[in-house]
Structure 1
Amino acid sequence: MVTARLPLFPLNSALFPGLVLPLHIFEERYRALVGDLLALPEDAPRRFAVVAIKDGNEVAPTGPDGVDTTAGAGLGPDPAKSLFQVGCIAEAATIGEREDGGFEVVATGTTRFRLLSVDASGPYLTAEVEELPEEPGEGAGTLAAGVARAFRTYQKRLAGAQDRTLVAVQELPDDPSVLSYLVAAATIFETPAKQLLLEAPDTAARLAAELPLLRREAAVIGKLPSLPAVDLTRQPASLN
């Protein structure tokens, strides 16, 4: 069992391995966190743990002086109870400092983890996490082919419902695990559904769960005359 203690970023969405996560950092406690990442040796990985919030939010009310430095503010008296128990480790590829003292961070999801404990005693949350291996499961290759077809149908119907044209057919990865995470991230499922996909015990289980979700959503979209425009590209998350 590989465990680690890492800085913790609670977000309102799930992060998946292999996916890029842009972040705007301008709130005091997260500035401290990024500052500590920057203080690491150049050859050290700048890792932090990202976990989705199931109760509360990461945006905390400010105190009398306008600055809130409470590590778990916005998540209740016991932050761990407000968070899902499976998240994804992220590694910061670039960190740029803004003129206002904030940061622009671009990170990539690397490894799923299980949350073991949360510590709110410092300037920002930290967590002890147990890394979760990615097992292929039985029949992942066969399931991947079906999910790829269902995902293409989903994309086409979604584009049609939004009066959009698919400029080009996206080439999907051959690796079943990579495909499972790409589909989970690219769909517009709500956070609880995405979280269940993140928590799947192996690739085959994740793909098996995605197939009926994609077919159901494509069927629903096909019956609607139009949908509000939804930006399917991942937008930078703001931690304020």
Structure 2
Amino acid sequence: MGAILPVFPLGTVLFPGLVLPLHIFEERYRTLVRDLVATTDTEPHEFGVVTLRHGSEALPADSDGEAPAGAAITTGELYDVGCTAELRQVTELPDGRFDIVTVGRRRFRVVTLATATHPYLTAEVEWLPDEETSGGTAELLAPRVLAAFRTYLDLLRPDSEVLDQVPDDPTVLSHLVAATAQLTTDERQELLAAPDTATRLRAELRLLNREAGLLARVRAVPVPLSDLARPVSPN
């Protein structure tokens, strides 16, 4: 049997090493934060972030205004690969809500949603280590991805400070690119689920070259972009 992990469905994709601040207002997730804070220092104070395929981050409430215990979400509504969020800072507000700061820690795959034994969602998961199965391929790809990322950012927002401190580690770089580039949720999920760093970097090189090409063509349009805007049809 795999590990049992508290799960927080969100509309975003979290990557290892990336910061994720959250405002916790629903009672079941307030309970989750309290449970995590109460764990011993030898246990990781973390929960799983899994991205919703569609719909709201909030679960439907019952007649008392509280959502039923985890049962409103099914595995079909969630992507199967997520990332744990480790608590780094917890601020409890006077009304019982929390402002928390978390950092992505380790990837996992959802095996099945666990029987509801808590007011929040839990899942059986298996851990997904970033194993390099292709020798030094990641080290060879990293400089090419970094160069493509610089070109992409120069076209997107020249004043970006993302690359002020470039990570030396290819895996860290791959996670930074995946979290920062303007990609679809499906593309981010594919990068999160990549079996190793080399596979992720190879996919990012393709995506960055594609996006840079699109941005270059848009900047070459001889009329202001505002002139291209058209009212959205209600039909």
Give the TM-score normalised by the residue count of structure 2. Answer: 0.86
Q: How does 1:1-240 map to 2 (within 5 A)?
A: 3-73=2-72, 75=73, 79-119=74-114, 121=116, 122-138=118-134, 139-159=137-157, 165-166=159-160, 169-225=163-219
Q: Residue 100 of structure 1: CA displacement?
A: 1.9
Question: Which residue does the alignment assign to 2:229?
Answer: none
Q: Is the 8 A contact 1:11 1:50 kept in 2?
A: yes
Q: Which runs of 5+ in 1 are unaligned?
A: 229-240
Q: Residue 56 of structure 1: CA displacement?
A: 3.1
Q: Which runs of 5+ in 2 are unaligned?
A: 227-235
The structure number with the bigger radius of gyration is 2
User: Percent same amino acid among aligned pairs?
Assistant: 48
For 1:158, the aligned partner's letter is L
Which of structures 1 and 2 has the larger relative contact order (alpha carbons within 8 angstroms, sep 6+)?
Answer: 1
Q: Residue 105 of structure 1: CA displacement?
A: 1.2
Q: What is the alpha-carbon distance in structure 2 between the residues aligned to residue 172 and residue 217 of structure 1?
A: 21
Q: Give a deviation string over 1:117-175, Cα, whole Å, max 9, x none.
A: 11252311111111111112421111111100000001010015xxxx34685231111
Q: Residue 22 of structure 1: CA displacement?
A: 0.7
Match of 1:55, SS state, is coil
Q: How many residues align?
A: 219
Q: What is the alpha-carbon distance in structure 1 between the residues aligned to residue 95 and residue 27 of structure 2?
A: 12
CA pair 191-227 structure 1, distance change in 2 beyond 3 A: farther
Q: Residue 45 of structure 1: CA displacement?
A: 2.0
Match of 2:111, SS state, is strand
Q: Residue 190 of structure 1: CA displacement?
A: 1.4
For 1:174, the aligned partner's letter is D
Match of 2:209, SS state, is helix
For 1:57, the aligned partner's letter is S
Q: What is the alpha-carbon distance in structure 2 between the residues aligned to residue 103 and residue 184 of structure 1?
A: 28
Q: Give a deviation string over 1:170-223, Cα, whole Å, max 9, x none.
A: 231111111101110111111110000001110000000000100111111122
CA RMSD of aligned residues (A): 2.1
Q: Which moved more, 1:30-39 or 1:55-64?
A: 55-64
Match of 2:106, SS state, is strand
Q: What is the alpha-carbon distance in structure 1 between the residues aligned to residue 22 and residue 162 of structure 2?
A: 28
Give the TM-score normalised by the residue count of structure 1. Answer: 0.84
Q: What is the alpha-carbon distance in structure 1 between the residues aligned to residue 163 and residue 199 of structure 2?
A: 26
Q: Is the 8 A contact 1:12 1:53 kept in 2?
A: yes
